[in-house]
């Protein structure tokens, strides 16, 4: 690690706020300024049953590939927070002091600016002395806080975070701001936060591409069988519709949506055809009833994948709907969109000034 390296811990008050996307966009902006970037995620969390550490390392590998980082510029998590790990700590079976391991972990990353991805919220990891403020204190890192926009709760949570994080809080990025709220955020929320000593370094508007989900991801989450057009699973789905009404009503409903996935029964051929004739990127069939040949033929002519699932309609909708805006960045179209949004809406120069990190003269000139 270079002697002049700066450390920035990208954290959030809640999960799915956009930390990884922020790091990706911030890294591209920095690389454009000839500032070398390093990345690490000290603590990875997954409390699901049969959680796989492989998924967490896959996210790190994707980020490293997208940024073109070498092996000495990126580090996978050194502690995986799961049920077994936490229980061992609570029972006193694990009494390790992780502060020294954390310092060694960070010192192995070679870069001008080392970006560390924090846990899901400010206090997660406290039982291991690896909460956001403890990580920042241990490696002398400044903190950039990413907050998903909320009209009522966001300002209060940021004020509380300021008290919790103190002077290490360098600023905030407000993410996923609805277009209708941009003016209020710019003219009211931002000035208030700045007045309270919380610099607003970025305000990212809500974006349907970033909140979308690929057909491939939908198929994986549903454990679905792909009936046709498997070569088009990278199509992005921006909305979800349920086909449970008559055809005339369905057509009017479907025409109001763009790039949607439609969930309907396998026996509803008329609704399936109506969906295929509108802006549909994926047809999801429930009920264990195979579609008619003419539906398959029409879908193939339009390159629209059809998925067959074992779950009922309600469960299927819940699974897909819960994925929007919460899927890890893993598609090139999202990477490009993040780069564009961060370039337009994030003040990199101000961040570098706060970090006391000089931009190379060759770039300035």
Query: Do 306 and 227 form a contact (C-beta atoms < 8 A)?
Result: yes
Please report, for residues 4, 237, 256, 291, 305, the alpha-carbon distance to residue 259 in angstroms, rounded to integers and kept in the order given. Answer: 47, 5, 10, 21, 12
What's the number of CA atoms in the CB half-sphere (13 Å) around residue 114? 29
Looking at the structure, tell me whether residues 163 and 249 fall in a common domain.
no
Looking at the structure, tell me whether residues 66 and 182 fall in a common domain.
yes
In a domain, 226, yes or no: yes
In a domain, 337, yes or no: yes
Mean pLDDT along residues 324-348 = 88
Mean of pLDDT over the chain: 89
CATH number at residue 34: 3.40.50.300
In a domain, 282, yes or no: yes
- Tokens in use for 3? 């002697």
pLDDT at 126 over 90: yes
Give pLDDT, residue 365: 46
pLDDT tens string 73-119: 999 998 988 888 999 999 999 999 999 999 999 999 999 999 999 99
Looking at the structure, tell me whether residues 220 and 297 fall in a common domain.
yes
User: How many domains is the chain built from?
Assistant: 2
Looking at the structure, tell me whether residues 222 and 196 fall in a common domain.
no
In a domain, 310, yes or no: yes
Query: Do 263 and 320 form a contact (C-beta atoms < 8 A)?
Result: yes
Residue finishing a domain among 290, 305, 321:
321
Looking at the structure, tell me whether residues 147 and 19 fall in a common domain.
yes
pLDDT tens string 270-286: 889 988 988 999 999 99
> Lowest-confidence range among 65-69, 314-318, 325-329, 357-361?
357-361
In a domain, 1, yes or no: no
Give pLDDT, residue 246: 64
In a domain, 354, yes or no: yes
Looking at the structure, tell me whether residues 15 and 112 fall in a common domain.
yes
Query: Do 253 and 245 form a contact (C-beta atoms < 8 A)?
Result: yes
Please report, for residues 149, 179, 263, the alpha-carbon distance to residue 176 in angstroms, rounded to integers and kept in the order given. Answer: 6, 9, 26
In a domain, 251, yes or no: yes
- Tokens in use for 294? 């003419």
CATH number at residue 239: 3.40.1390.20
Looking at the structure, tell me whether residues 268 and 187 fall in a common domain.
no
pLDDT at 339 over 90: yes
In a domain, 264, yes or no: yes
Looking at the structure, tell me whether residues 70 and 192 fall in a common domain.
yes
Q: Which domain holds residue 230?
A: 213-321
pLDDT tens string 166-198: 999 999 999 999 999 999 999 999 999 999 999
Q: Rounded CA gap, 195 and 298, in Å? A: 59
Looking at the structure, tell me whether residues 101 and 200 fall in a common domain.
yes
- Kindly report the number of other CB atoms within 10 A of residue 327's CB atom: 18
pLDDT tens string 292-308: 999 999 999 999 999 99
Looking at the structure, tell me whether residues 64 and 198 fall in a common domain.
yes
Looking at the structure, tell me whether residues 222 and 205 fall in a common domain.
no
pTM of the model: 0.86
Q: Sign of the CA dihedral 350, 352, 358, 361?
A: negative
Looking at the structure, tell me whether residues 177 and 100 fall in a common domain.
yes
> Lowest-confidence range among 37-41, 50-54, 307-311, 346-350?
50-54
- Computed on alpha carbons and rounded to an integer, the radius of gyration of the chain in Å comes to 23
């Amino acid at each position: 690690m270079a002697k002049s390296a700066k450390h920035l811990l990208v954290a959030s008050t809640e999960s799915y706020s956009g930390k990884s996307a922020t790091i990706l966009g911030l890294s591209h902006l920095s690389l454009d300024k000839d500032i070398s970037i390093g990345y690490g995620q000290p603590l990875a969390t997954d409390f699901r049953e049969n959680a796989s550490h492989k998924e967490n390392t896959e996210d790190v590998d994707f980020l490293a590939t997208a940024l073109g980082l070498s092996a000495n510029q990126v580090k996978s998590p050194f502690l995986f927070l799961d049920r077994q790990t936490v229980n061992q700590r609570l029972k006193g079976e694990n009494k390790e002091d992780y502060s020294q391991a954390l310092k060694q972990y960070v010192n192995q990353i070679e870069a001008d600016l080392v970006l560390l991805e924090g846990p899901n919220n400010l206090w997660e990891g406290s039982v291991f002395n690896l909460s956001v403020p403890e990580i920042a204190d241990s490696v002398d890192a400044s903190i950039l806080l990413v907050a998903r926009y909320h009209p009522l709760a966001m300002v209060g949570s940021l004020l509380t975070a300021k008290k919790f994080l103190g002077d290490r809080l360098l600023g905030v990025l407000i993410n996923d701001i609805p277009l209708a709220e941009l003016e209020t955020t710019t003219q009211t929320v931002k000035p208030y936060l700045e007045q309270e000593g919380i610099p607003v370094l970025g305000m990212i508007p809500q974006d349907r591409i970033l909140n979308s989900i690929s057909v491939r991801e939908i198929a994986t989450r549903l454990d679905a069988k792909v009936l046709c057009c498997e070569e088009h699973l990278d199509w992005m789905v921006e909305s979800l519709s349920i086909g449970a009404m008559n055809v005339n009503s369905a057509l009017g409903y479907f025409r109001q949506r763009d790039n949607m996935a439609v969930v309907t029964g396998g026996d509803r051929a008329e609704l399936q055809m109506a969906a295929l004739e509108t802006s549909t990127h994926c047809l999801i069939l429930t009920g264990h009833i195979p579609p008619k040949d003419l539906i398959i033929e029409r879908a193939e002519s339009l390159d629209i994948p059809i998925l067959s699932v074992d779950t009922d309609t309600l469960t299927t909708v819940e699974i897909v709907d819960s994925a929007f805006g919460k899927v890890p960045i893993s598609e090139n179209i999202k990477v490009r969109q993040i780069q564009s949004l961060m370039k337009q809406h994030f003040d990199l120069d101000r961040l570098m000034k706060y970090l006391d990190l000089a931009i190379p003269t060759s770039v300035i000139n």
